[in-house]
Amino acid sequence: MSEQQARRAPFDKQELWFESEGVALSGWLARPAAADAPVPLIILTHGLSGIVDLDLAEYAERFVTAGCACLAYDHRNWGRSAGWPRGESDPWRQVGDLREAISFARTLPGIDPERIGLWGTSYAGGHVLTVSALDRRVRCAVSQVPLTSGSRTFESWVPADKRAAFRARLDADRDARRRGEPPAATAAATRGSETAEWVARKDTGGRYVNALTLRSFDLLRTYEPASFCAAIAPTPLLMIVARHDTTTPTAWQHEAFAAIGEPKQLLELDCRHYDVYMDHLDAAADAALAWYRAHL
């Protein structure tokens, strides 16, 4: 079998769930076909509105073929995972969940607890930066098109002339939730956006829900993964950036990378943010695999 055929070969995924702070997180575990000794494991997590049914198996198939187990799961409030409000992304709860995923992975039979790798993209690319700095149980990590500054990202997403009105909506939502009203939400993939193009090209079996709570934007403003970059070393980290990224701007990713100590590596692809899930997925996945082979 050629390498290209091997990476396209189907692999079995065992559905599972684990608990984090009382919330059941749903995902799957994929293992190499045969292993005589405990194998390394890579934990995969998606972006702001991403679910496990989008893209993650396409990356994991490379890693499993190369001899690594993979654990992927939906963030709380998303996909098959429990949690409320639905469609709400709380970065610090997701960081806590990722650390619980590490603890869970280290208990799995046939897994080497000292060889746990992280892979995260976009919003979760920021989580990889944060957790790699905070948790020395991480052996190596890949951060793809990461969010590096929540406050700057919020300001880039919301035009200056509309920012006051948007913040007023956030405040009104807080008051309404206190009164017991349902959380306000907006579309995660707006018409004509890169996000909408990406979702349209994927088959999620109808499981992708195009709704993001307004409070997710307020929570985004509190999150600064770049502030942790100086503490990542000596954990080996690969950062994959998109040269034409306007969602999590490329220049900010370069700033964050400069603050990371060795060992590290930067791969810049000539594409947009969401292209790493589409036409440039092969290049991104192959670079990640080479990093894990070297360090995991």
- Domain membership of residue 91 (yes or no) is yes
- Domain membership of residue 217 (yes or no) is no
- Domain membership of residue 201 (yes or no) is no
Tens-digit pLDDT profile for residues 107-147: 999 999 999 999 999 999 999 999 999 999 999 999 999 99
Indicate the number of domains in the chain: 1
Tokens standing for residue 139: 């052996």
- Domain membership of residue 266 (yes or no) is yes
Confidence of residue 10 (pLDDT cuts 50, 70, 90): low
- Domain membership of residue 204 (yes or no) is no
Percent of the chain at pLDDT > 90 equals 86
For residue 16, the enclosing domain spans 3-153+223-295
**192 or 43: whose pLDDT is higher?**
43
Percent of the chain at pLDDT > 70 equals 96
Q: For residue 141, which of 262, 293, 292 has the smallest C-alpha distance?
A: 292
Would you state the pLDDT for residue 2?
A: 36
CATH of the domain at 66: 3.40.50.1820
CB neighbourhood size of 46 (10 A): 26
- Domain membership of residue 78 (yes or no) is yes
- Domain membership of residue 189 (yes or no) is no
Would you state the pLDDT for residue 109?
A: 95
**226 or 198: whose pLDDT is higher?**
226
**Separation CA 123–CA 150 (nearest Å):** 9
Bond from prior residue into 85 cis (ω within 30 degrees of 0): yes
Would you state the pLDDT for residue 5?
A: 39
Tokens standing for residue 222: 């509190």
* Mean of per-residue pLDDT scores for the chain: 94
